[in-house]
């Protein structure tokens, strides 16, 4: 599949934004994170900013973005429509929570409820994003039990590491939070390795034989219907060289998981300034690594239409 940057950035940014929003909603609502104006403003601004930037970026993928409002109508059948509805609905409790927690400095009560609802909305939205990909049968690497948990884990991981960076910057971080981020990043690493292992061993029942209805023997593409690449090949026939795939997987692992774990572990017991700098570095590097991971998620996915072209 063609890794369009608008979609790569959209899924990565909203994943991190909703992860951060969910954690802020739950922890801020009950007062586990103190209601502080500047901390609240910057952290809620970052969460909602990432979400809004991601959603805006996703409209860049559309052929007719001015009609995007129509995408809220088909939630009964379409995961993409459900994602649109869930993302917009989530803004309501998120906004109320932001007003109560940041501007009024309240915790508990209706602010806690709004925070909890925002967290639920965030989780639901990330689930709908994951299901858009997991529901596509023609792409075996996506239509697997690894896709949906992957989106949830990566959202929690990137959101958690961002929250840690914010709290450490405001000098109210804790070793528990650091340890939690190390564990989440380790979980993400493990899940990604398991996903790649599953994909590399995948035996896809769909072949050139079943695609053409020609039973038995071998079916070899002799001649394409067209001389140049068409929409199908540009959009779904994207191929990545095996050596590049190996190298990019190494880069993704180093940036998204390896380096953040090292930086977060190194931050234990250091004075404030060092902890803050290391935590922010870990968050920034992890986000860059997740962009590489998401690029690979698309680039390594193979659509059944490529079988018609002998690819």
Choices 11-19, 48-56, 79-87, 189-197; region in contact with other proteins by CB under 8 A = 79-87
Distance of CA 60 to the CA centre of its chain: 17
Residues in Cβ contact with 167 at an 8 Å cutoff, skipping those fewer than 6 apart? 33, 39, 173, 174, 177
- The minimum distance between CB 84 and other proteins, in angstroms, equals 6
Q: Which is nearer to other proteins, 38 or 231 (CB)?
A: 231
196 binds other proteins (CB under 8 A): no
DSSP 8-state secondary structure symbol assigned to residue 140:
T
- The minimum distance between CB 59 and other proteins, in angstroms, equals 9
Per-residue interface string for the shown chain with other proteins, residues 199-238, x marking contact by CB under 8 A: ------xx-x-xxxxxxxxxxxxxxxxxxxxxxx--xx--
Q: Which is nearer to other proteins, 71 or 262 (CB)?
A: 71
First to last CA, the chain: 12
Applying CB under 8 A, which of residues 37, 49, 137, 202 lies at the interface with other proteins?
A: 137
CB 108, CB 31: distance < 8 Å:
yes
Neighbours of 178 (CB within 10 A): 23
Write out the binding residues for other proteins, residues 115-134 only, by CB under 8 A: 132
Q: Which is nearer to other proteins, 80 or 288 (CB)?
A: 80
241 binds other proteins (CB under 8 A): no
- The minimum distance between CB 36 and other proteins, in angstroms, equals 39
Neighbours of 179 (CB within 10 A): 14
Applying CB under 8 A, which of residues 70, 145, 239, 247 lies at the interface with other proteins?
A: 70
176 binds other proteins (CB under 8 A): no
Q: Which is nearer to other proteins, 74 or 199 (CB)?
A: 74
Residue 242: C-alpha distances to residues 44, 202, 245, 293, 301 (Å): 41, 16, 5, 15, 13
Q: How many residues bind other proteins (CB under 8 A)?
A: 59
Residues in Cβ contact with 250 at an 8 Å cutoff, skipping those fewer than 6 apart? none
The string of DSSP codes covering 38-86 is HHHHHHHHHHHHHHHHHHHHHHTT-S-GGGGGGGGS-TTT-HHHHHHHH
Rounded to whole angstroms, the Cα distance separating 151 from 85 reads: 18
- The minimum distance between CB 14 and other proteins, in angstroms, equals 16
Q: What is the largest CA-CA distance in the chain?
A: 72
The contact set with other proteins (CB under 8 A) reads: 1, 61-65, 67-68, 70-74, 76-81, 84, 132, 135-139, 205-206, 208, 210-232, 235-236, 303-305, 308-309
């Amino acid at each position: 599949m063609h890794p369009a940057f608008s979609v790569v950035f959209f899924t990565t940014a909203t994943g991190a934004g909703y992860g951060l929003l969910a954690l802020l909603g739950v922890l801020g609502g009950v007062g586990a994170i103190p209601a502080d104006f500047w901390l609240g403003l910057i952290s809620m601004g970052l969460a909602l900013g990432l979400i809004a930037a991601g959603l805006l970026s996703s409209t860049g993928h559309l052929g007719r973005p001015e009609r995007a409002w129509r995408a809220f109508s088909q939630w009964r059948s379409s995961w993409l429509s459900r994602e649109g509805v869930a993302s917009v609905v989530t803004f309501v409790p998120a906004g109320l929570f932001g007003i109560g927690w940041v501007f009024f400095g309240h915790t508990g009560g209706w602010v806690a409820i709004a925070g909890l609802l925002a967290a639920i909305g965030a989780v639901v939205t990330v689930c709908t994003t994951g299901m858009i990909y997991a529901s596509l049968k023609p792409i075996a690497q996506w239509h697997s039990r690894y896709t949906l948990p992957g989106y949830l884990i990566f959202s929690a991981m990137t959101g958690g590491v961002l929250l840690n960076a914010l709290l450490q910057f405001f000098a109210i971080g804790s070793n528990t939070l650091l340890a939690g981020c190390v564990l989440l990043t380790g979980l993400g690493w493990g899940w990604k390795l398991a996903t790649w292992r599953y994909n590399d061993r995948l035996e896809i029942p769909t072949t050139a034989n079943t695609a053409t209805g020609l039973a038995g023997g071998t079916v070899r593409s002799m001649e394409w219907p067209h001389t140049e690449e068409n929409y199908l090949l540009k959009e779904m026939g994207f191929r990545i060289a095996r050596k590049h795939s190996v190298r990019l997987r190494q880069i993704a692992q180093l940036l998204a998981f390896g380096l953040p774990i090292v930086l977060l572990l190194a931050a234990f017991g250091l004075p404030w300034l060092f902890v803050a700098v290391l935590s922010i570095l870990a968050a920034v590097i992890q986000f860059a690594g997740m962009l590489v991971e998401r690029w690979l998620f698309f680039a390594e996915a193979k659509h059944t239409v490529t079988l018609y072209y002998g690819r």
